[in-house]
């Protein structure tokens, strides 16, 4: 069930929120757990048992870890991580490994063709982080199985994050507060995310779909596609994160921010501190730092970076394009790391920003390519004279979507937020924005409803990861 679906907006969410606020605090968690399990069952009925199994494994191993000491404590934690990872590997990567073996050894092993359980990459990582945090004694094991089940399955962040740490919400699971101000903030944040997803991302997606289906391509069309996809995936994923954070506020939870205007960055390092923050911090805290981080010799540091970014790419999908994408950014990060600060300081900020946009566009072209061969074909279309520089079709779509592209480019920066904050800086401006907020929310809902009724193109890119 997509957040940007009529069923969610006008049936599921009103019922869940309405009943939630009627019930006494002591049964709110039970209601949210039932709603979350139904939410997952609605989209993946046959894989609900898999998520329940992950929760059960994490709960049991968490209790065992809490009671163990020394080597036994470490062994139990490793076992819990291995069991949870085995489910992720089996469903997400088995066919990839079989295909690779078939290619290398010219064998003919049959593919399992397993359907990828929605959200498995996200809720598995949450379960793993919980068990590791219990091992590190960052948190005691959760004794109440319903509380841990709610943490893993909570529907706002279940299928696409942010990847929430147990330590960040363990207090909210037990003693969260509700207020009209917090609920209002949640509604506003949800509306912003909904608009980003349906109005911006879906519209940008039509450009990408048109490009893929077109036979009459040009070099300029390849670049138009690259820009459109980069903006589409940003508005798609950050919009979903905004909706998740907004829903969390409505229900009394506070989730971490997942995006911080990454396209205003002037380096790849800065970009990845602003993009998919919850995933980057997860790999940093549970893979990179335990491996030694940057407090090791140069060769071990190279190994650490390449390993983390290989895994980051592989986490996104079972395809060599994702691995290539991860290693591409690893190479860029290493280049930036070994360039002296003197050289960095001499480069004008706008040049650094142009460089960042350029390399990120290339990265997303690789990310969305149809296999490694397709990635090189797309890059060839961007950088060689294989195709004409431009053509009538390209100019038509450039003119037709120019307003959307400019609006998306502005919307990907903090410009609008800065303007709103300046208006809020005085009492009159604050009162005006407060009065306009309900109008804004209703307007977004009306426009989104019209889009959803009128069209059928409403994908969510990160469901496939």
Active-site amino acid positions: 316
The DSSP letter of residue 266 is S
Cβ atoms of 219 and 382 closer than 8 Å: yes
DSSP 426: S
Query: Which 3 state secondary structure label does DSSP give 153?
Result: helix
Helix (H) or strand (E) holding 231: helix 219-250
DSSP 8-state symbol, 45: G
Q: Is 106 exposed, middle or buried (0-12, 13-18, 19+ CB in 10 A)?
A: exposed
Determine the Cα–Cα distance for residues 235 and 270; give it in Å rounded to an integer: 19
Whether 39 and 158 have beta carbons less than 8 Å apart is answered as yes
Helical (H) or strand (E) element with 1 = none
The per-residue DSSP string of 60-96 comes to HHHHHHHH--HHHHHHHHHHHHHHHHHHHHHHHHHHH
| Distance (Å, whole) CA 91 – CA 117 | 7
Number of other residues whose CB lies within 10 A of the CB of residue 78 = 14
DSSP per residue, 181-227: HHHHHHHHHHHHHHHIIIIIIHHHHHHHHHHHH-SS--HHHHHHHHH
What is the C-alpha separation between 279 and 92, in angstroms, rounded? 18
Of 93, 232, 262, 240, the C-alpha closest to 163 is 240
Q: Are 51 and 42 in contact (CB under 8 A)?
A: no
- The span from the CA of 32 to the CA of 176, in Å, is 13
Contact at 8 Å (CB) between 405 and 226?
Answer: no
CA distance 201 to 206: 9
Phi and psi at 325, nearest 5°, equal -60, -45
For residues 2-38, one letter each, b for 16 or more C-beta atoms within 10 angstroms of the residue's C-beta and e for the rest, the string is: bbbeeebbeebbeebbeebeeeeeeebbeebbebbbe
């Amino acid at each position: 069930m997509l957040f940007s679906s009529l069923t969610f907006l006008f049936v599921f969410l009103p019922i869940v929120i309405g009943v939630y606020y009627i019930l006494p605090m002591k049964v709110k968690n039970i209601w949210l757990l039932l709603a979350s399990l139904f939410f997952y069952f609605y989209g993946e009925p046959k894989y609900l048992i898999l998520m329940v199994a992950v929760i059960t494994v994490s709960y049991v191993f968490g209790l065992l870890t809490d009671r163990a000491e020394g080597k036994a404590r470490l062994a139990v934690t490793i076992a819990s991580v291995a069991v949870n990872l085995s489910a992720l590997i089996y469903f997400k990567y088995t066919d990839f490994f079989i295909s690779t073996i078939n290619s290398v050894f010219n064998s003919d092993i049959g593919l399992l063709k397993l359907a990828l359980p929605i959200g498995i990459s996200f809720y598995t990582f949450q379960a793993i982080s919980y068990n590791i945090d219990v091992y590190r004694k960052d948190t005691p094991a959760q004794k109440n199985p319903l509380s841990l089940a709610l943490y893993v399955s909570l529907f706002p962040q279940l299928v696409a994050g942010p990847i929430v740490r147990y330590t960040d919400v363990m207090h909210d699971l037990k003693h969260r507060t509700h207020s009209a101000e917090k609920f209002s903030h949640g509604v506003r944040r949800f509306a912003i995310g909904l608009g980003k997803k349906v109005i911006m991302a879906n519209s940008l997606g039509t450009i990408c779909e048109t490009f893929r289906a077109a036979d009459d391509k040009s070099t300029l069309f390849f670049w138009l596609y690259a820009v459109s996809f980069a903006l589409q995936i940003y508005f798609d994923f950050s919009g979903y994160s905004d909706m998740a954070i907004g829903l969390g506020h409505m229900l009394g939870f506070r989730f971490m921010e997942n995006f911080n205007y990454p396209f205003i960055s002037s380096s790849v390092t800065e970009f990845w501190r602003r993009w998919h923050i919850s995933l980057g911090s997860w790999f940093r805290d549970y893979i990179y730092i335990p491996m030694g981080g940057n407090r090791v010799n140069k060769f071990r540091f190279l190994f650490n970076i390449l390993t983390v970014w290989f895994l980051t790419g592989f986490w996104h999908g079972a395809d060599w394009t994702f691995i290539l994408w991860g290693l591409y950014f690893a190479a860029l990060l290493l280049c930036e790391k070994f360039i002296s600060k003197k050289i960095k300081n001499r480069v004008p900020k706008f040049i650094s920003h142009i460089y960042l946009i350029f390399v990120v566009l290339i990265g997303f072209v690789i990310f969305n390519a149809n296999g490694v061969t397709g990635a090189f074909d797309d890059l060839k279309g961007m950088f060689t004279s294989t195709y004409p520089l431009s053509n009538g079709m390209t100019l038509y779509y450039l003119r037709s979507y120019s307003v959307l592209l400019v609006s998306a480019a502005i919307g990907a920066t903090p410009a609008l937020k800065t303007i709103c904050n300046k208006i809020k800086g005085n009492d009159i401006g604050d009162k005006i924005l407060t009065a306009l907020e309900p109008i804004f929310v209703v307007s977004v809902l009306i426009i989104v409803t019209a889009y959803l009724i009128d069209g059928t193109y409403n994908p969510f890119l990160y469901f496939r990861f």
